[in-house]
C-alpha cells in the first residue's frame, strides 16, 4: 500500500495503540490510589485522557479522504454499479444522527462491490470476497462507539471500586478499538487491491483512476 491507504492504516494503528496506553494508565491509577484515595486530586488534569484525540481525529479525516477517492475510483471501474447513496454520503454518513449507525457500512460495502470490473450492465465478472471483513469491522466499531458513550471513571467522591471500573472501561474500549483497527486496515487493503487490479485503460471514460 502507498499514499493514502498507508497513511490511513498507520494512523488507525497509532490510535489503537493510544487507547491501549490510556487503558494501561487507568490501571496504574487504580494500583496507586485504591488504597490511598486521599492522595488523589480530582481537579488534576491527566494528559493521558486526551492522548488519543490527535491520532483519532487525524485517522478519521484521512480515512474519509481515502474513502472518497476509493468511491470515485469504484465509479470509474464499474460505472454501472448502483451505489445506494450519493457520493456526498461518504462524508455525511459519519456525522448525520441515527443514519451514522449503518450508512457508512453501506457506503464501504458498495465501494467494495463496485470495485469489481463490469464490462456491461448485468452481472460482474467476479464477485469480491470481503463481506465478513467489513461486517466485523463495522460490528466492532459500533460496539466501541456505544461503550464509549458511557464513560466510567472516578470523581471527587471516588471509591476503590470507581477506580476499578475506571480501568475496566478503557480496557474494553481499547480491546474493541484494536480489533476494529485490524479489520479497518484489512478493509483498506481489500479495496486497494481490488482497485489496483483494474488496468487504467479499462476505466470508464472521463473518470480518473485511483491513485495509490
pLDDT tens for each residue of 57-88: 999 999 999 999 999 999 988 888 889 999 99
Is residue 61 in a domain?
yes
Helix ranges restricted to H, 79-205: 89-92, 103-114, 131-148, 160-196
Is residue 114 in a domain?
yes
C-alpha cell at 110: 458498495
Residue-number span of the structural domain to which 71 is assigned: 3-38+50-83+97-198
Are the CB atoms for 195 and 67 separated by under 8 Å?
A: no
Is residue 64 in a domain?
yes
SS3 for 90? helix
pLDDT tens readout for residues 161-207: 778 888 888 899 999 999 999 999 999 999 999 888 766 555 555 44
Q: Residue 106 pLDDT > 50, yes or no?
A: yes
Count up the domains in the chain and report the number: 1
Question: CB-hemisphere CA count at 13 Å for 158?
Answer: 24
pLDDT tens readout for residues 110-166: 999 888 766 555 555 444 556 789 999 999 999 999 988 876 766 666 677 778 888
Is residue 209 in a domain?
no
pLDDT in the model for residue 77: 87
CA distance 117 to 124: 6
pLDDT tens readout for residues 11-23: 999 999 999 998 9
3-state helix, strand, coil in the chain (%, to 5): 65, 0, 35
Is residue 77 in a domain?
yes
pLDDT in the model for residue 191: 93
**CA distances, 195 to each of 98, 153, 211 (Å):** 31, 45, 10
Mean pLDDT of the chain: 82
CA distance 111 to 192: 11
Q: Residue 209 pLDDT > 80, yes or no?
A: no
Are the CB atoms for 37 and 95 separated by under 8 Å?
A: no
Is residue 92 in a domain?
no
pLDDT in the model for residue 195: 87
Is residue 45 in a domain?
no
C-alpha cell at 114: 463496485
Are the CB atoms for 28 and 207 separated by under 8 Å?
A: no
pLDDT tens readout for residues 32-48: 877 777 777 665 556 66
Helices 103-114 and 53-77, interaxial angle, to 10°?
40
CA distance 172 to 176: 6
Exposure string for 31-61, b = 16+ CB within 10 A, e = fewer = eebbeeeeeeeeeeeeebeebbeebbebbee
Is residue 44 in a domain?
no
Amino acid at each position: 500500500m502507498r499514499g493514502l491507504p498507508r497513511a490511513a492504516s498507520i494512523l488507525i494503528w497509532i490510535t489503537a495503540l493510544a487507547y491501549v496506553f490510556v487503558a494501561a494508565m487507568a490501571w496504574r491509577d487504580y494500583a496507586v490510589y485504591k488504597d490511598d484515595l486521599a492522595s488523589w486530586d480530582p481537579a488534576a488534569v491527566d494528559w493521558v485522557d486526551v492522548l488519543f484525540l490527535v491520532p483519532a481525529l487525524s485517522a478519521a479525516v484521512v480515512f474519509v479522504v481515502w474513502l472518497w477517492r476509493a468511491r470515485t475510483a469504484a465509479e470509474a471501474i464499474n460505472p454501472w454499479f448502483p451505489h445506494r447513496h450519493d457520493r456526498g454520503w461518504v462524508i455525511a454518513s459519519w456525522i448525520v444522527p441515527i443514519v451514522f449507525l449503518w450508512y457508512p457500512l453501506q457506503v464501504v460495502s458498495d465501494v467494495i462491490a463496485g470495485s469489481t470490473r463490469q464490462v456491461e450492465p448485468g452481472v460482474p465478472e467476479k464477485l469480491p470476497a470481503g463481506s465478513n471483513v467489513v461486517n466485523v469491522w463495522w460490528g466492532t466499531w459500533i460496539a466501541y462507539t456505544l461503550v464509549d458513550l458511557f464513560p466510567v471513571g472516578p470523581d471527587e467522591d471516588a471509591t476503590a471500586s470507581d477506580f476499578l471500573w475506571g480501568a475496566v472501561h478503557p480496557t474494553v474500549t481499547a480491546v474493541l478499538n484494536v480489533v476494529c483497527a485490524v479489520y479497518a486496515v484489512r478493509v483498506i487493503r481489500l479495496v486497494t487491491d481490488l482497485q489496483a487490479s483494474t488496468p487504467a485503460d479499462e476505466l470508464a471514460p472521463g473518470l480518473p483512476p485511483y491513485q495509490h
